[in-house]
A and B are shown apart, each in its own frame.
Chain A
Amino acid sequence: MDGLGGHGGPDATDAESSAFGFHGTWREYLPIALTNLLLIVVTLGIYRFWAKARERRYLWSRTRFIDERLEWTGTGMELFVGGVLVIVLFVVPYFVMTQVAQAMMMRGQTALGAALFVIPLLAIFYLMGVARFRAIRYRLGRTNWRGIRGGSDDAGFRYGWSYMWKTAAGYAAFGLGVPWAMVSLWNQRWRAMSFGPMRFTCSADFSALMKRYLLFYFSPFLAILGLVGFVFAAAFGLQADGQFDPENPPIGVMAAIGVAFVLFYLVLGFVWLAYYAKFFRVVVGEMELGDLSFEFDAKTWDWIRLGLGDVALLVLTLGLGFVFLGYRHWRFFIAHMQAFGEIDVDGLIQSTTRRARHGEGLLDAFDMGAI
């Protein structure tokens, strides 16, 4: 019996004592990023599939779990095949259907045309759920640790239906059911996943999220009230000492409104991140794999810094910095992941799940993140 302990936790300040570690450096990654960028540009974007595989191979290889590195075994060709499949099976039929629908409506067959218009939209909705499921499955299936990989026996088609009705139900209750839908779907998709012989379990409860969600839910109203006050005060020159000089406002009305709008969306974004940070802590905190339990310790402020850093990177590099986004996000993710408990490496036998021979094309097409 050969057991390995997972360590770490809130009081483990030393990075090496955490079960997860990332020791890549941007200098080391830079040649990969730059050659990826070059090849993406000269191939009109087609190389991005191979670029993604190279990026992951690097990131995974610099990621330690307990005492061994992860390994990415996916290939660019796989992702490319996934992308082509999406175009053939989805984009082309979608394009044809909307064209036919439009032609129908032009001929006065409004009902039939509208149906042909709605069906592809429903299909997109359904496939977004399937895509999210299959992307996690794909990534687990291509992630090796000590020669063992993960996966799922479920193809995700049933999950697509759950995704549809739960999301719809969440929004139907005036949007108040969104946290329930998000948590319930998270539980559902991770319970279908496994690593080696072990199933993931996840039984997160959404009620802990409601306080922050309601804050987000009502923040537009609060923000509007506050901003109206701000605009008036700023525009009409209400000064700190209470002096009011309408002839000489400190900033113009338009400028005040402009600042107000920027603040509005910025604040709303931050409040959403406050909710999302809590969401991630709650759902990851309830995940277990065998005797391992997980924790994600990023606070709202960490997410805000990640987001602002992304924006700064993109702005300063005129958008070319996008090749570094994957690196930043992975480093953030690993830096905040913790695991506790024990792994029996003899009992951790190879996964028997089937692996699809194509990558996460759908998810790629919808441009969503997997986790």
Chain B
Amino acid sequence: MEQGQPIRAFWYDGVTARRHVGTVRWHGDDLREDLRDELRLHSDDGETMIVPLADLVFVERGVLDGSYSRKADDGFRLVFTDPVPEALAARLPRGARFGKWIDGLGLPRAAALFAAVSAALVALVLTAPSWLGPRIPPAWERRIGEAMVGDLQDVSCRTPASDAALAKLVRQLDPDSPPTRVSIANIDMVNAVALPGGQVLVFDGLIQESSDPDELAGVIGHEIGHVRERHVMQALLRQFGLSILLGGVNSDVGNTLFGLTAMSYSREAEREADVFSRAQMARSDISPASTADFFADLARQGEGGPGWASWIASHPMPQEREDAFRKAVVPGRAYRPSLSRAEYEAIRDACAKDPDVEPFDIF
């Protein structure tokens, strides 16, 4: 078809809903440059409209040869009903199929590229806790922890005597400075948790269930181990990363303290915390025998009461742990009790004797 020949088409001008039927002319080889870059639309009822080629946008329609709108997205629509000459077709814009980037690369390459980037991102988020966690300065973690859970002094059980006894116990287990803050929570559950910011909560239920201070030392040493080995920060990062990966909107990062206690550590982390606990106990001549007894109790009673369930769930394999603590007992070594009887009793009585302890009803 010769250039300048009329091509049948219909169009809407975006001003009214009237359909204009007529012809499109394009003077692609005209001497006047401006004429080469525009389409002249002549409707059968005598109206003329001029549309610059550069203004056109391809609209995917699939039914006819394709229709074109204007960049201004003003409702203008041009549909060719005759075949479009090749010279003009070459000047007309092409349609976007998947989006600009993907069309540029081609679907297979774009999909592969996106998949690679996504996989790298997932790998980064999944591995970040283990390498990033220990590198976050403890001072930052302390600040994060304080922002999240605050200072727990208000809700914890404390008397001057229990404070002193607990401080003595912590001194033997946590040589680093600043020492981990350990407090007693007025909760009747057999559990202990390490919170962000280096705070350890020992539940009163666990204290009442214990039979001597060395047993407490084993458990508290374990939780301090989580703090010192930076497991808390790692678990936080893991939860945060997962919540981003799983859609972002549903970000319940430690939404409640309950969520924090439900933070699980890997078995590896549990073993590390136990190793830390045994090392600190050995350093301070505290016998691991009582802690082994404690795990034996757990293993036995684990099947029963719900009070034990939480500890079992978050700290698996009591049998294996009992064995490890049992083996750590050095025969013939002169162990000292970690606290005197009076000091231990002070800890046991902390919740009963604290005059202004608040009920811990978050659980």
Contacts and interface: CB of A to CB of B under 8 A. Distances in A.
B248 A91 contact: yes
A206 B299 CA distance: 63
Interface string A84-107: 000100010001001100110111
A147 B12 contact: yes
A57 interface: yes
Interface in B268-297: none
Most buried by A among B63, B98, B147: B98
B17 A35 contact: no
Nearest to A98: B255
Interface residues of A, number: 46
Contact of A103 (B111, B122, B149): B149
Contacts of B248: 87, 91
B301 interface: no
A76 B358 CA distance: 54
Interface in B104-118: 107, 110-112, 114-115, 118
A296 to B, nearest CB: 24
A50 B102 CA distance: 11
A27 B207 CA distance: 68
A134 interface: no
A103 B147 contact: yes
Given A107-B150, A146-B17, A102 B75 contact: no
Interface in A34-63: 35, 38-39, 42-45, 47, 50, 54, 57-58, 61
A346 interface: yes
Interface string B13-45: 111111100000000000000000000000000
* Interface size range on B against A: 35 or more
Interface in A344-371: 345-350, 365
30 contacts: A35-B107, A39-B102, A39-B110, A39-B111, A42-B111, A42-B114, A44-B118, A45-B247, A50-B98, A54-B98, A61-B60, A69-B61, A73-B73, A102-B148, A103-B147, A103-B149, A103-B150, A106-B149, A106-B257, A108-B155, A144-B77, A145-B17, A146-B17, A146-B18, A148-B12, A148-B14, A148-B16, A149-B75, A348-B17, A350-B74
Interface of B: 12-19, 59-63, 69, 73-77, 98-99, 102, 107, 110-112, 114-115, 118, 121-122, 147-152, 154-155, 245, 247-249, 251, 253, 255-257, 358, 362
Which 8 residue pairs across A and B have the least CB separation, nearest first? A147-B12, A147-B75, A146-B17, A348-B17, A345-B17, A42-B115, A42-B114, A106-B150
